[in-house]
Structure 1
Amino acid sequence: MAPGDPARASGNDTPVTQFILLGFSKYPDLQELFFGGFLLIYAVTVVGNLGMMALIFTDSRLHSPMYFFLSVLSFLDICYSSVVTPKLLADLLVSDKSISFAGCVVQMTFFVMHATAESFLLASMACDRYMAICRPLHYGSIMTKETCLQLVAASYAFGGANSAIQTGNVFSLPFCGPNQVAHFFCDIQPLLRLACANTAVAGVVLYIFSALVTFLPAALILTSYSSVLAAIGRMRSAAGREKALSTCASHFLAIALFYSTVIFTYVQPHGSTNDASGQVVSVFYTIITPMLNPFIYSLRNKEVKDALQRKLRIKLFPC
């Protein structure tokens, strides 16, 4: 039955105290394979992002706004992947796939907060590249430490606001009937389908605020990078063009991975995707993309590769 159908209100009146995360239970023979794969990906995610953060904090040559934002991006990737993946791993090993009502609220709250904060952080990173390439004479005076901290704080403020709105939007509805969530974590759309009330208004709220926190940063990013690409095209130095393009290509690839999957999941007409395709896309942006980001930035960034080589030389050849 589709979200928003009034017939949902005629079900059982017993309040739901827990949800069952069905996740990948349709594939019982593949549970161990899924567990091994997701555990490996999660381990690489944590180690890769922590390694990126440690490298940036310990190498003075990487103490610039761009790498500060990159370290925050790594932190966010660890956070929102950790909100989802450990519970998924546990559910793949046990038959009881339940999560308490309060646990579901907490999981959704922190997931939406960190995912939204990452959306605005990516916009901040695009603005940083715009200032560095298009306004180099003013870069040092504008992109100060205080400005960077304010941009990160603003990203978290937007994340907290969107999280409060979206979580409140879902859990202000009554849940009194089915409690089986056709997903591997407490996501917004699967839970709206279980509400014992008309969810038409809640669906509109989801669509509007999801669009705001994706399209506004995305528009800022596209505007910034359009100016950046134009500025790169006017550069006379081939080496300068190559370095700028390499850095911007890393940023743009990470941005494309994040926004394409988020828009596919949240900024679509209700019911336009089925549960299976929704889960596949969710795996990509909650589990795989956080693992890929450190490699995207390190493999295409000469400064990061040089810093890593310096650290390895010190460790292997301390004298």
Structure 2
Amino acid sequence: MTPSLSPAQMSARIVRYGELRPCKTAFIDAHTPGSDQKENFTIIGGGVSESPDQHVHINDTPGFNIGAAGQPPKCRNSLHSHRTAEVFFVLKGRWRFFWGRWGTAGEVVLEEGDIINIPTGIFRGFENIGTDYGMIMAVLGGDDAGGGVIWAPQVIEDAKDHGLVLGDNGALYDSHKGQDLPEGVAPMPLLSEAELQSFPEPTTAEVVPHHVARYWDLMALADRQPAKVIGADACLRDRPGFEVDFLTRGSAPDAAETHDTHTVLMPMRGHWRLTWDGGTDVLNPGDTCLLPPGLPHHVAPAVTGEASLYRVRATDDPAGATLRT
């Protein structure tokens, strides 16, 4: 039986950019100078937040998680690693991504619309190097996003000096709020030097060609048909548990489509009219829409001008991102 959704039911599956609820204490570096102005957003799925204060907009997970990070100029996210894929595209601003044990192995600057598929198993961080508040949208592989974050040792040590301790249960404890580690909970152990040796230190030349796609290149590729951005046969050839396509005015589908997996629509530029069996609505830049499997739907630009949209669909692949050189 083909599913249908009422406008109210679809509204509950759309998270509007202007209604995002930030958390400023999501991670261990929330008090560390230089990182203490971050805002983290958990849009679809529980993500990897370490704080009970994190609001989750849509609890269902379609095989991956969707989140976002908002930061003022000169604010950075500290070095960490994930066990599953972490993909970012820049919604607003100008961002520097860096990686390696000390963040010095390599780096790349991304502009609005650019996308990066960061390999699992390397330390990475990012900072807003623009002049205004910036926002990056994130796709994390797996329903549980790999079970959390692995922090570089210096991040944990710096956080302790500013009142935050991460327990070995994955929860944060804030001395600013009078919190101590509960009985039976030990501090998260630091990675040993032997363990740190297993984290790769790829150069910029090794990462960028295989893990970064530029917005205007994708606009050209998607002139007449959707551009395959991440996937087995895509620009960034990988199988991280989801695939990413890029649509423009010229490659928007002519007729309704039906997919047998969950589909997430994330407009980058322009206003997109979504029509489905049950109603119609408009998606704007920064909005996130979760479509269920089997729902016939059609999406197309609603007004004239530049229009682009990232589309994410679940796959049966493992939820990791392979380092390709």
**Does TM-score exceed 0.5, indicating one fold?**
no
TM-score, normalised to structure 2, is: 0.23
| Greater RCO (CA < 8 Å, at least 6 residues apart) | 1
Write 1 or 2 for the structure with the bigger share of strand.
2
Report the structure number with the largest CA radius of gyration. 1
Q: TM-score, length-normalised on structure 1?
A: 0.23
